[in-house]
Amino acid sequence: MRAYLMTRGTMRKHDYAFLGEAPAEPWWDALTPWVLLESEEVIVHRNEAGGANLLISGIPSRRTDVLGTRIRHTVVVEDAHREHGLALWMVRCGLDDGERTRLGDALDGAFPGDLVDALMTGAHDDVEHRLLATLRQAAEGSEEDKAGKDIPGSWAGSVHDATASEAFMARARRLLAEEQTGYAFTTHALLTADGARRAASSLSGEVAALLHEGELEVVEQLGKARVPAPRRDSIAQAGTKRRVLSALGALAVALAVALGAWWLIRHL
């Protein structure tokens, strides 16, 4: 399992960046149009290679920047399925304000402001080792989540709906335990089932989405909208139309040449 921490330093020039090593590929890019990573989001993704990745953003820090703005953390975990219990606790941190705050306090303790500023100016430290140790220690003694029941297929619900939240945890558990591809994510960017449906259509595998905003009162099945393939008769008709237009164009050119020749003969 690999882990990465994004945060910022105190000075304005020390903007948000990964401390130490960054993930080789931003695997969450497919979701960036559909989430707000500056807010409290959680993403679980099982990829086609069989690995499960996890991202939690908007983890609150007690630190502030030079302007007094509260700083936040983002944690990215690759191959999260290798430590199933830890990964499930982190998903719960993405849904529960209290657990998220506890995670933020743990990160602040392991990465105080002076260390973060030093790392951003070139100091060396085993960030990943420190981060993994912090996550494992913070997860110790956490309560097991209730074994809720997943909802089949692709669906969207409200993060404030207990049934949808339990189904989301069940979907995350399944993505972490099985090799079926798909996404489970929360979003501040989508407000309606139609928006979630567009997001699901752009992603591979089944999708479970929890919406922070909007008025989604019940769980909505999303389906997977597809662009229909062109019909064979439509293709044939299009080819015939192109041939007719080409013939008409050639006829117009020939007529223009004939009229030009006639005009010249009349005026010579």
Q: What is the four-CA torsion angle of 130, 134, 140, 146, rounded to 10 degrees?
A: -120
Asked if 208 and 257 sit in the same domain, the reply is: no
Asked if 152 and 236 sit in the same domain, the reply is: no
Asked if 125 and 246 sit in the same domain, the reply is: no
Neighbours of 111 (CB within 10 A): 22
* Total of domains in the chain: 2
Asked if 208 and 248 sit in the same domain, the reply is: no
Structural domain boundaries, residue 266: 230-268
The per-residue pLDDT for range 197-215, each reduced to its tens digit, is 999 999 999 999 999 998 8
Of 120 and 246, more confident:
120
Token pair of 121 as six digits: 């100016």
Asked if 139 and 256 sit in the same domain, the reply is: no
**Confidence label for 256 from pLDDT (cuts 50, 70 and 90):** low
Which single residue is written with the structure tokens 């619900």? Answer: 157
Q: Contact, 206 vs 182, CB < 8 A?
A: yes
Asked if 189 and 249 sit in the same domain, the reply is: no
Asked if 82 and 156 sit in the same domain, the reply is: yes
Of 265 and 103, more confident:
103
Give the amino acid at 128: E
Asked if 255 and 199 sit in the same domain, the reply is: no
Asked if 90 and 180 sit in the same domain, the reply is: yes
Beta strands 41-46 and 17-18 are unpaired
The per-residue pLDDT for range 15-60, each reduced to its tens digit, is 999 999 999 999 999 999 999 999 999 999 998 888 899 999 999 9
Asked if 171 and 240 sit in the same domain, the reply is: no
Q: Contact, 197 vs 222, CB < 8 A?
A: yes
Asked if 81 and 168 sit in the same domain, the reply is: yes
Asked if 216 and 238 sit in the same domain, the reply is: no
Q: Return the pLDDT at 142.
A: 73
Alpha carbon of residue 125 to chain centroid: 29
Direct distance between the N- and C-terminal alpha carbons of the chain, in angstroms, rounded to an integer:
90
Q: Which residues pair with 70 in a beta bridge?
A: 64
**Confidence label for 261 from pLDDT (cuts 50, 70 and 90):** low
Token pair of 23 as six digits: 């993930």
- Angstrom CA distances, 257 to 246, 247, 248, 260, stand at 17, 16, 14, 5
Q: Return the pLDDT at 215.
A: 80
Alpha helices for the chain (secondary structure H): 84-95, 97-110, 113-120, 127-139, 162-177, 193-201, 232-267
The b-or-e profile of 182-214 (16+ CB within 10 A means b, else e) is bbbbbbbbbeebebbbebbeebebbbbbbbbeb
Q: Report the phi/psi class of residue 153: left, alpha or beta, with left for phi > 0 and alpha for psi in -120 to 50.
A: left
The per-residue pLDDT for range 59-95, each reduced to its tens digit, is 999 999 989 999 999 999 999 999 999 999 999 999 9
Of 190 and 266, more confident:
190
